[in-house]
């Protein structure tokens, strides 16, 4: 196990390094033109460009440039030339908002995905199964920024006008520490908007997993030893069918925190990390986009490694598959 | 087991299974209709709406039931759906015909989606074939490259590439692409999806290269390229076909997301993504502007997803197909 962890961590460090090089190349090297002009944003003055060229070392060789960029990123002295604010500080500020959104949505999509997938599988072929399949497909096909904007408008804005009081607020965010109830109320619509896609995916995956597992030998054994149908389904079929869904859950959760929530945050004006990058696009303000891309990919790589290690700890077969000899 | 006529090829059996799947065929037909409608955009613009997607009608008026109405009111609110030839779905904030823009925008969205999916398929198949067939250092290099692309959330890599390229355009040797060109979102989207296809293909090729028929071809003295393209490629065609509709669907959605954020198609060029972006800003006064392009998007992606499911069930029901967003 220790060797597995060591190897996994070593490969993580390699991927992190490669990811940082690719991000660096995308912003500092790929396009033609002067990177200093690009960093400076839409309407820079000559002096600004000159200052940025010095600061980032764009006149030095590329290895030094990479070092400077990484140093600026981690010491927190990378600033947006549009707002003059420290990029790292702004990201820290947005992080609790992104986490609040991601955690709540992940719980919702897991609960609904499992419930609907299980129900669909139990009624496989029936009317309610078909209806759920259609709904899941529509959910998968809907862009989150579109359904989110409609929810915001019709359930947030117009419903409040009709009712005379605000059931769901029309976007915005309240800190949990300021008022937990308002925090919850402001996040309900974003949670569901973000969860719709995943509910569709998970219920379909679980449904087909259950239908596969039902034919396994151990299910027949469970029935043969006289367990009730309910016990067979919950204790044997569901538990085994959930394994791939839980893997998916870990990976999707990481992606949502690492930047996948960008559209939801923007539509509901939650001011999280993703929206910080999204707002920078309009100004062509490169440093925030660079930092969010890099940190987002870092987080995904890191989280995937953790998931792998946890899995290996739970299931020795994985350790063996990836090359470690049994001891 | 399904009974087919003696000697029926697996392709013919698959085609028959697909034909029997009425829902999938119906949705495939819906997709073709949508494409046809968007291709006919100039006809609608010229003969029905009498305008172009870029033409502003800010100070124009239009006759509705004998009454003269401003296309864009004095308060800046554009006209809603008129359900007649001109401004069938109303106007946008610049007094442009929403229906005309919807059709032209659809051309761009579909063009980007389909071209990007074709490029992803080309790159993904080549990478998977070379990595799986040659193994060794070729595999190591290509697989690490795939791992790195895979590590990024799709949307973030799209934004990073999209903004960076939109700033200065792209210049590779003699080819020069402007920052506002549609080629940029096409290229960006095709790159981010490569690993989703290349990885499963590499896995299949690793297995196929050990099969007897490959050994037989090698014994006949066929070269590596011949073996890859005439022996192995036909055996991975079904995987490619299963992936393709889903790649198009996700490419169209990613285009919309990138354009919505300003890192895809650049205005005034219409696409469903830029139209939703413009619509959301005016959702309080002119909700049609946001609702309609979104509905087109959902219908297009839904038809591709249902059709894609049908193709998978007909060709390879056990295929594990996953494309992230």
The verdict on B323 touching A (C-beta cutoff 8 Å) is: no
Q: Cβ contacts of residue A6 below 8 Å, gap of 6+?
A: none
As given in the structure block, the two tokens for residue B177 are 């692409």
Answer yes or no: are the C-beta atoms of B100 and B45 closer than 8 Å.
yes
Taking the C-alpha atoms of residue A15 and residue B147, their distance in angstroms, rounded to an integer, is: 8
**Rama region for B70: left / alpha / beta (φ>0; ψ in -120 to 50; rest):** beta
Of the listed ranges A288-292, B17-21, B57-61, B256-260, the least confidently predicted one is B57-61
Taking the C-alpha atoms of residue A191 and residue B204, their distance in angstroms, rounded to an integer, is: 38
**pTM metric for this prediction:** 0.90
pLDDT surpassing 80 at residue A140: yes
The verdict on A196 touching B (C-beta cutoff 8 Å) is: no
**Mean pLDDT rounded to a whole number for chain A:** 86
Taking the C-alpha atoms of residue A218 and residue A235, their distance in angstroms, rounded to an integer, is: 11
Answer yes or no: are the C-beta atoms of B133 and B236 closer than 8 Å.
no
- Position A31 scores a pLDDT of 58
For the stretch B36-48, pLDDT in tens is 999 998 988 888 8
Residue B176 is given by DSSP the state: E
Q: How far is B104 from chain A (nearest CA, A)?
A: 20
The complex's ipTM works out to: 0.89
Of B151, B159, B302, the CB nearest to A277: B159
The verdict on A157 touching B (C-beta cutoff 8 Å) is: yes
**Beta carbons of B290 and A150 less than 8 Å apart:** yes
DSSP string computed for A97-164: HHHHHHHHHHHHHHHHHHHHHHHHHHTTTSHHHHHHHHHHHHHHHS-HHHHHHHHIIIIIIIHHHHHS
**Mean pLDDT rounded to a whole number for chain B:** 88
Rg of chain B over CA atoms, in angstroms? 23
Of A15, A140, A290, the CB nearest to B147: A15
Domain positions in chain A: 94-274
Q: Cβ contacts of residue B311 below 8 Å, gap of 6+?
A: B18, B24, B241, B242, B245
Of A157, A255, A297, the CB nearest to B284: A157
Other C-beta atoms closer than 10 Å to the C-beta of B27 total 23
Q: How far is A157 from chain B (nearest CA, A)?
A: 9
In B87-221, alpha helices (H) = 98-134, 136-151, 154-168, 183-192, 194-208, 212-219
**Beta carbons of B306 and A286 less than 8 Å apart:** no
Taking the C-alpha atoms of residue B100 and residue B23, their distance in angstroms, rounded to an integer, is: 30
Indicate the pLDDT class of residue B30, thresholds 50, 70 and 90: very high
Answer yes or no: are the C-beta atoms of A109 and A199 closer than 8 Å.
yes
Q: B170 phi and psi, to 5 degrees? A: -135, 140
Answer CATH for A94-274 from 3.40.190.10, 1.10.3720.10, 1.10.10.10, 3.40.50.10150: 1.10.3720.10
For the stretch A147-190, pLDDT in tens is 999 999 999 888 888 888 888 888 888 888 888 998 999 999 99
Sign of the torsion formed by the C-alpha atoms of A296, A88, A152 and A113: positive
Answer yes or no: are the C-beta atoms of B20 and B302 closer than 8 Å.
no
Q: Which of residues 134-153 of A touch B (CB under 8 A)?
A: 137-138, 140-143, 145-147, 149-150, 153
pLDDT surpassing 70 at residue A318: no
For the stretch A17-60, pLDDT in tens is 999 999 888 887 765 567 777 777 667 778 888 888 888 877 77
Of the listed ranges A209-213, A320-324, B66-70, B186-190, the least confidently predicted one is A320-324
Q: Cβ contacts of residue B58 below 8 Å, gap of 6+?
A: B71, B72, B94, B95
Indicate the pLDDT class of residue A326, thresholds 50, 70 and 90: very low
pLDDT surpassing 60 at residue B267: yes
Taking the C-alpha atoms of residue A323 and residue A30, their distance in angstroms, rounded to an integer, is: 37
Residue with tokens 């609960």: A111
Among B159, B180, B185, most A C-beta atoms within 10 A, so best to mutate, is B159
Taking the C-alpha atoms of residue A107 and residue B144, their distance in angstroms, rounded to an integer, is: 33
Taking the C-alpha atoms of residue A239 and residue A260, their distance in angstroms, rounded to an integer, is: 28
- Position A58 scores a pLDDT of 78
At residue B317, the 3 state secondary structure works out as: coil
Chains A, B: CB contacts under 8 A, how many? Answer: 142
Taking the C-alpha atoms of residue B110 and residue B245, their distance in angstroms, rounded to an integer, is: 12
For residue B258, say if its preceding peptide bond is cis, omega within 30 degrees of 0: no
Q: Which of residues 23-52 of A touch B (CB under 8 A)?
A: 23, 26-27, 30-33, 38
């Amino acid at each position: 196990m220790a060797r597995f962890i060591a190897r996994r961590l070593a490969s993580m460090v390699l991927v992190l390094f490669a990811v940082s090089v690719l991000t660096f190349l995308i912003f500092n090297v790929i396009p033609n033109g002067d990177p200093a002009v690009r960093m400076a944003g839409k309407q820079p003055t000559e002096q600004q460009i000159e200052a940025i060229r010095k600061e980032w070392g764009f006149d030095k060789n590329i290895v030094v440039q990479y070092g400077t960029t990484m140093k600026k990123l981690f010491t927190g002295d990378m600033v947006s030339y549009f707002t003059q604010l420290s990029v790292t500080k702004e990201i820290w500020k947005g992080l609790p908002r992104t986490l609040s959104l991601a955690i709540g949505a992940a719980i919702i999509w897991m609960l609904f995905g499992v419930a609907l997938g299980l129900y669909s599988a139990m009624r496989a072929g029936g009317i309610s199964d078909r209806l759920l399949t259609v709904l899941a497909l529509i959910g998968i096909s809907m862009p989150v920024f579109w359904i989110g904007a409609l929810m915001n408008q019709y359930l947030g804005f117009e419903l409040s006008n009709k009712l005379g009081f605000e059931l769901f607020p029309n976007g915005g965010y309240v800190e949990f520490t300021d008022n937990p109830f308002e925090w919850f109320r402001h996040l309900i619509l974003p949670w569901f908007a973000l969860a719709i896609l995943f509910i569709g995916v998970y219920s379909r995956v679980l449904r087909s997993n259950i239908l596969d597992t039902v034919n396994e030998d151990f299910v027949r054994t469970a029935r043969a030893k006289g367990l009730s149908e309910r016990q067979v389904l919950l204790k044997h079929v569901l538990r085994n069918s959930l394994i791939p869904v839980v893997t998916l859950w870990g990976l999707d959760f990481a992606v949502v925190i690492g930047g996948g929530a960008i559209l939801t945050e923007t539509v509901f004006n939650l001011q999280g990390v993703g929206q910080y990058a999204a707002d920078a696009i309009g100004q062509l303000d490169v440093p925030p986009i660079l930092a969010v891309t890099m940190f987002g990919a870092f987080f995904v790589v890191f989280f995937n490694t953790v998931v792998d290690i946890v899995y290996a700890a739970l299931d020795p077969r994985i350790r063996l598959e990836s090359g470690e000899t049994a001891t | 087991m399904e009974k087919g006529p003696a000697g029926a090829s697996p392709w013919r059996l698959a085609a028959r299974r697909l034909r029997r799947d009425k829902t999938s065929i119906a949705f495939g037909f819906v997709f073709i209709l949508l494409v046809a409608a968007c291709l006919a955009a100039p006809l609608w613009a010229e003969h029905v709406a009498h305008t172009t997607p870029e033409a502003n009608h800010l100070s124009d008026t239009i006759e509705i039931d004998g009454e003269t109405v401003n296309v864009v009111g004095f308060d800046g609110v554009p006209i809603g759906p008129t359900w007649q030839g001109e401004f069938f779905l109303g106007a946008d904030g610049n007094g442009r015909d929403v229906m005309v823009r919807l059709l032209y925008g659809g051309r761009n969205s579909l063009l980007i989606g389909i071209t990007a999916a074709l490029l992803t398929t080309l790159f993904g198949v080549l990478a998977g074939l070379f990595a799986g067939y040659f193994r060794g250092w070729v595999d190591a290099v290509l697989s690490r490259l795939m791992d790195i692309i895979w590590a990024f959330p799709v949307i973030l890599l799209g934004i990073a590439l999209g903004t960076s390229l939109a700033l200065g355009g792209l210049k590779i040797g003699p080819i020069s692409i402007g920052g506002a060109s549609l080629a940029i979102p096409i290229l960006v989207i095709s790159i981010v999806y490569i690993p989703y296809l290349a990885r499963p293909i590499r896995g299949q090729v690793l297995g196929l290269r050990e099969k007897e028929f490959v050994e037989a071809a090698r014994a006949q003295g066929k070269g590596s390229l011949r073996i890859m393209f005439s022996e192995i490629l036909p055996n991975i065609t079904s995987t490619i076909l299963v992936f393709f509709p889903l790649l198009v669907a996700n490419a169209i959605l990613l285009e919309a997301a990138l354009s919505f954020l300003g890192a895809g198609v650049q205005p005034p060029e219409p696409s469903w993504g830029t139209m939703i972006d413009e619509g959301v800003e005016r959702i309080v006064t002119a909700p049609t502007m946001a609702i309609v392009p979104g509905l087109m998007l959902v219908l297009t992606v839904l038809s591709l997803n249902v059709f894609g499911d049908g193709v998978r069930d007909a060709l390879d029901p056990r295929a594990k197909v996953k494309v992230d967003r």
